């Protein structure tokens, strides 16, 4: 494609952005009828091919942006997008098929169906922590549902943005998919336009900004947000298995994962053994000393100085307020390195217990009565994910049934993201709506109701309301109401 598929931060202005939007709007109106399943699948094939061709570029970009290990890039940036495409292609026919809506006696003599239709021109705003996955993953659903899309990647991972632009330029014409780079001001300019749907992934604070802007145009939104995802380790947990899953979920991507276990509640009876196990697991995976952890290629870095300072301040604030640093705490600004850090003796006045940690810090809180843990979780905003570790099914069941969260992982962390048949999303503060598979397809579709007259007798209830019509209406209300 020779047409320009991106606007660099330096040159983007309201006029460029409006022109990009208008081009998609015009094309969308023309394309509407022709963008059938075959055409959508062809576009998805182009995207898959471009992602595969650019795999090395994606890996190099994520390494340059935050030293993300190549294997993690393959598993958490590339694989989810390719899996989403494969799954979508397989099921698209059944998702697109109009679904018959059975008539009831009250609408006897009519025929009806629900038909998913493309919403139109969509905006995808992505965060930096899984920059490729969270830009191109929603794009798969947008195209599958027959939409065009403008993607605004995060300004914090410029190398990943470059790779996304290259992929999009190779795969699509800009009247179908276009990338517009830029910071919050570009994002705000985009948000002022009357998009047909906005799919935003980012923090709850900016989610509110997005929803407020969307309200001005009555644009529908999917908000994939964050927050603190608690983990409960029960008295009968398999301690080694719990430690293994928690260390992976917490320290992969350097804790910069929306569904990372934020903090852990561990039952007092097993607390000492659990802490030993977590320490041993960190040593096994990343090395026993900060030097070893710095040297391993498997440990990612904090994305930028602002976040490095934020994470370091979280540790210092906890230390100053009396927390005990069980392990880690070392930081090296020159590399934006923070060692895997375990903190105990925490209290509610510490920043680590108030804000989403989004870094390699794991507070460990001992408990005796799980009811108090459940009360505490229910007193805060609803989490994006909640994890429970215990061999007893009833222990997990009571946590699941007495709390509200986007998702629950039992004896695992994070991998529910990869399940294509599960909705991925939060609830209230952690998000609105869902992504992935059919849920993603629905997020980008309008479910249009179509009803046809066949042998209906509804006209017998129309005015003028003679005695006969009045009696008929009374019978309808009495018998069918």
Ligand X SMILES: NC(=O)c1ccc[n+]([C@@H]2O[C@H](COP(=O)([O-])OP(=O)(O)OC[C@H]3O[C@@H](n4cnc5c(N)ncnc54)[C@H](O)[C@@H]3O)[C@@H](O)[C@H]2O)c1
305 binds ligand X (CB under 6 A): no
Answer for which of 58, 61, 125, 338 binds ligand X (CB under 6 A) is: 125
In contact, 84 and 142? CB cutoff 8 Å: no
Query: Considering beta carbons, is residue 134 or 144 the nearer one to ligand X?
Result: 134
Which are the contacts of 451, defined by CB distance < 8 A and separation ≥ 6? 101, 107, 110, 111, 112
Binding segment for ligand X (CB under 6 A), chosen from 150-158, 292-300, 315-323, 393-401, is 150-158
Which residue stretch of 35-43, 121-129, 277-285, 385-393 sits at the interface with ligand X (rule: CB under 6 A)?
A: 121-129
- Kindly tell me the burial class for residue 82, based on how many C-beta atoms sit within 10 Å of its own C-beta (0-12, 13-18, 19 or more): middle
Which one of the spans 119-127, 266-274, 286-294, 460-468 is the region binding ligand X (CB under 6 A)?
119-127
Binding residues with ligand X: total (CB under 6 A): 29
Tokens of 406: 């986007």
Strand arrangement, sheet containing 220-224: 6-7, 177-180, 148-152, 121-125, 197-201, 220-224, 431-432
Measure the CA–CA gap between 70 and 62, rounded to whole angstroms. Answer: 8
3-state secondary structure of 178: strand
**Looking at 8, 9, 55, 203, which residue binds ligand X (CB under 6 A)?**
203
What CA–CA distance (Å, rounded) separates 401 from 410? 13
- As a residue count, the chain comes to 481
Among 187, 245, 405, 445, binds ligand X (CB under 6 A): 187
Stretch that binds ligand X, among 8-16, 129-137, 284-292, 407-415 (CB under 6 A): 129-137
Q: Is 452 noted as a catalytic residue in this protein?
A: no
Q: In this chain, which of 78, 92, 134, 239 binds ligand X, going by CB under 6 A?
A: 134
How near is the Cβ of 184 to ligand X at its closest, in Å?
4
Instruction: Examine residue 290 and tell whether it contacts ligand X (CB under 6 A).
Output: no
Q: Which of 72, 169, 224, 356 does the annotation list as catalytic?
A: 224
DSSP states of 32-67 as a string? GGG--HHHHHHHHHHHHHHHHHTHHHHHHHHHHHH-
Using the minimum distance from each CB to ligand X, give the nearer residue, 188 or 421: 188
Residue nearest to ligand X (CB): 226
Options 50, 70, 112, 209; binder of ligand X; rule CB under 6 A: 209
Q: Which of 176, 343, 384, 434 binds ligand X (CB under 6 A)?
A: 384
The minimum distance between CB 402 and ligand X, in angstroms, equals 23
Residue closer to ligand X (CB basis): 243 or 300: 300
Q: Is 206 in the site for ligand X (CB under 6 A)?
A: yes
Among 68, 87, 152, 263, binds ligand X (CB under 6 A): 152
Of 134 and 150, which has the nearer Cβ to ligand X? 134
Nearer to ligand X, 29 or 184 (CB): 184
Instruction: Report if residue 148 touches ligand X, rule: CB under 6 A.
Output: no
Residues 414-453 close enough to bind ligand X by CB under 6 A: 426, 431
Q: Nearer to ligand X by C-beta: 118 or 126? A: 126
Question: In angstroms, what is the minimal distance from the CB of 208 to ligand X?
Answer: 10
Residue 360 token pair: 């390699």
Token duo for residue 427: 């609830």
The answer to whether 129 contacts ligand X (rule: CB under 6 A) is yes
446 in Cβ contact with 119 (< 8 Å): yes
- For residue 230, give the 3-state DSSP assignment: strand
Q: How many CB atoms lie within 10 A of CB 89?
A: 17
User: Nearest-CA neighbor of 249 among 50, 415, 471?
Assistant: 415
Could you say which of 258, 278, 343, 352 contacts ligand X (CB under 6 A)? 258
Q: Tell me the closest approach of the beta carbon of residue 185 to ligand X, in angstroms.
A: 8
Specify which residues 327 forms β-bridges with.
342
Q: How far apart are CA 82 and CA 219, in angstroms?
A: 29
Our finding on whether 76 is near ligand X (CB under 6 A) is no
What minimum distance in Å lies between the beta carbon of 298 and ligand X? 21
CB atoms under 10 Å from CB of 96, counted, come to 18
Q: Which of 4, 14, 29, 184 binds ligand X (CB under 6 A)?
A: 184
DSSP label at residue 434: -
The CA distance from 74 to 60, in Å, is 11
Which among 434, 447, 435 is positioned nearest to 116, based on CA atoms? 447
Sequence-distant (≥ 6) Cβ neighbours of residue 1 within 8 angstroms = 169, 170, 172, 173, 174
The structure tokens listed for 351 are 């920043």
Is 230 a residue that touches ligand X (CB under 6 A)? no
Site of interaction with ligand X (CB under 6 A): 125-130, 134, 152, 154-155, 183-184, 187-188, 191, 201-203, 206, 209, 224-226, 258, 356, 358, 384, 426, 431
For the annotated catalytic residues, the residue numbers are 224
């Amino acid at each position: 494609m020779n047409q320009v598929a991106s606007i660099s931060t330096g040159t983007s202005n309201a006029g460029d952005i409006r022109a990009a939007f208008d081009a998609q709007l015009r094309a969308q109106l023309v394309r509407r009828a022709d963008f059938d399943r075959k055409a959508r699948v062809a576009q998805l094939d182009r995207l898959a091919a471009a992602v595969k061709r650019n795999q090395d570029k994606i890996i190099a970009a994520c390494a340059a942006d935050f030293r993300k290990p190549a294997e993690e890039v393959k598993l958490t940036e590339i694989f989810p997008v390719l899996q989403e495409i494969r799954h979508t292609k397989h099921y698209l026919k059944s998702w697109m098929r109009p679904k018959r809506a059975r008539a009831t006696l009250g609408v006897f003599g009519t025929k009806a169906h629900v038909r998913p239709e493309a919403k139109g021109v969509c905006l995808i705003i992505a965060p930096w922590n899984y920059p490729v996955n969270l830009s191109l993953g929603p794009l798969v659903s947008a195209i599958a549902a027959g939409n065009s899309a403008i993607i605004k990647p995060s300004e914090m991972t410029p190398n990943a943005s470059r790779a996304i632009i290259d992929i999009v330029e190779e795969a699509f014409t800009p009247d179908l998919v276009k990338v517009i780079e830029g910071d919050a001001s570009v994002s705000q300019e985009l948000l002022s336009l009357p998009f047909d749907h906005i799919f935003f992934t980012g923090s709850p604070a900016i989610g509110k900004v997005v929803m407020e802007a969307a309200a001005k145009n009555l644009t529908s939104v999917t908000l994939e947000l964050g927050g603190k995802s608690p983990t409960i380790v029960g008295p009968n947990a398999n301690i080694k298995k719990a430690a293994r899953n928690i260390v992976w979920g917490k320290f992969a991507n350097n804790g910069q994962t929306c569904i990372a276990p934020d903090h852990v509640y561990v039952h007092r009876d097993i607390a000492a053994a659990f802490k030993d196990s977590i320490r041993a697991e960190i040593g096994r995976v990343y090395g026993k000393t900060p030097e070893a952890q710095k040297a391993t290629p498997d440990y990612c870095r904090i994305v930028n100085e602002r976040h490095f300072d934020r994470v370091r301040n979280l540790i210092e604030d906890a230390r100053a307020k009396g927390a005990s640093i069980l392990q880690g705490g070392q930081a090296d600004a020159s590399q934006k390195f923070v060692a895997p850090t375990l903190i105990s003796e925490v209290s509610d006045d510490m920043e680590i217990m108030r804000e989403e940690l989004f870094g390699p810090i794991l507070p460990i809180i001992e408990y005796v009565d799980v009811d108090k843990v459940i009360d505490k979780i229910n007193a805060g905003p609803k989490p994006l994910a909640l994890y429970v570790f215990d061999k007893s099914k009833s222990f997990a069941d009571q946590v699941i049934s007495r709390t509200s969260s986007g998702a629950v992982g039992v004896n695992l962390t994070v991998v529910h993201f990869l399940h294509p048949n599960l909705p991925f999303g939060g609830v209230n503060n952690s998000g609105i709506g869902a992504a992935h598979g059919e849920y993603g397809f629905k997020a980008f579709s309008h479910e249009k109701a179509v009803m046809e007259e066949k042998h209906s007798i509804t006209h017998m209830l129309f005015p003028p309301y003679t005695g006969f019509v009045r009696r008929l209406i009374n019978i309808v209300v009495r018998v069918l109401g």
